[in-house]
Structure 1
Amino acid sequence: MTTRPTNRLSLVADIGGTNTRVALAEGVRLLPDSIRRYSNAKYPGLETVLRTYIAEEGGVDCAGACVAVAGPVRDGVGIMTNLDWAMDKATLARATGAETVAILNDLQAQGHALGHLDDSVLRPIVTGPDAGPSAAKLVIGVGTGFNAAPVFETAAGRLVTPAECGHANLPIRTEAELRLCKFVETAHGFPAVEDVLSGRGLERVYAFLGAEANDPTEVAAADIMTALTNGTDPRATQAAQLFVRILGTVAGNLSLNFLPFGGVFLVGGVTRAFAPHLQTFGFAEAFRDKGRFAGFMQNFPVTVIEDDYAALTGCATHLVALSA
Structure 2
Amino acid sequence: MAMLLGDVGGTNARLAIARNGSIDASTVTRFKGDDFASFDDVVRQFLAEQHGPHISSMCIAVAGPVSGGRARLTNRDWFFDEDNLARLADADQARLINDLTALGFATPALAGDGVAVLREAPQDRARNGQALVVGLGTGFNVCAVRVLPGGAITALEAEEGHTHLPANIMWRLIDRVGADAARGFFSTEETFAGRGLSRLHAAMTGTHPVRSEDIAHAVEAGDAQAIATYDFFTELVGLLCRELALRFMPLEGMFLAGSVGRSIADRMDRFQPAFLAQEHMRHIPENTPIFLIRDDMAALHGCLAALG
Q: TM-score range by the shorter chain?
A: 0.7 to 0.9
Q: Distance in 2 between matches of 1:183 and 1:81?
A: 27
* Structure 2 residue aligned with 1:154: 148
Q: Is the 8 A contact 1:16 1:144 kept in 2?
A: no
Aligned-CA RMSD value? 2.5
Question: Would the alpha carbon gap of residues 258 and 154 (structure 1) be closer, same or farther in structure 2, given more than 3 Å must change?
Answer: same
Q: How many residues align?
A: 303
1:302 alignment partner AA: I
Alpha-carbon distance in structure 1 between the residues aligned to 2:98 and 2:85: 15
TM-score (normalizing by structure 1): 0.83
Alignment partners' CA distance in 2, 1:200 and 1:51: 35
Amino acid of the structure 1 residue aligned with 2:215: I
Residue 177 in 1 paired to residue 170 in 2?
A: no
Q: Aligned pair in 2 of structure 1 residues 207, 116: CA closer, same or farther (>3 Å)?
A: same
Q: What residue number does 1:142 align with? A: 136
Q: 5+ residue gaps in structure 2? A: none
Residues 27 and 317 in structure 1, CA contact (< 8 A), matched pair in contact too: no
Helix, strand or coil at the partner of 2:108: coil
- Of 205, 218, 222 in structure 1, the residue corresponding to residue 209 of structure 2 is 218
Q: Identify if the C-alpha distance between structure 1 residues 183 and 70 changes in structure 2 by more than 3 Å, giving closer, same or farther.
A: farther
| Residue 47 of structure 2: aligned partner | 54
User: CA separation of 1:62/1:305 partners in 2, compared to 1, >3 Å: closer, same or farther?
Assistant: same
Instruction: Please give the residue correspondences for 1:238-317 in structure 2 after superposition, counting only pairs within 5 Å.
Output: 238-277=228-267, 279-280=268-269, 282-317=270-305
Unaligned stretches of 5+ in structure 1?
A: 1-7
Q: Structure 1 counterpart of 2:56, which letter?
A: A
Cα shift readout 1:155-189 (whole Å, capped 9, x = no counterpart): 67211111111111223436551357854765xxx
Aligned residue in 2 for 1:95? 88
Post-superposition offset of 1:298: 0.3
Give CA-to-partner distance per residue, 1:286-309, whole Å, 9 cap, x none.
222234222432011111111122
Shift in CA distance, 217/108, structure 1 to aligned 2, threshold 3 Å: same
How far does the alpha carbon of each residue in 1:264-322 deviate from its partner, in whole angstroms, 9 at most, with x for none? 11122332233223x13x11122222342224320111111111220110101111x1x
CA positional deviation for 1:36: 2.5
Report the Cα offset of residue 9 of structure 1: 1.9
Stretch of structure 1 that moved more, 67-76 or 177-186: 177-186
SS at match of 1:150: strand
User: Matched residues in 1 for 2:86 and 2:99: separation?
Assistant: 19
Q: Which amino acid aligns with 2:217?
A: T
Counterpart residue type for residue 230 of structure 2:
A
Amino acid at match of 1:315: C
Q: Is the 8 A contact 2:128 2:251 kept in 1?
A: no
Match of 1:229 in 2: 220
Contact 2:127 2:251 in 1 (8 A): no
- Find the aligned partners of 1:76 and 1:26 in 2 and give their Cα distance: 24
The residue identity in structure 2 corresponding to 1:309 is M
Q: After TM superposition, where is structure 1 displaced by more than 6 Å over at least 4 residues in a row?
A: none
Q: Give the drift of 1:259.
A: 0.8
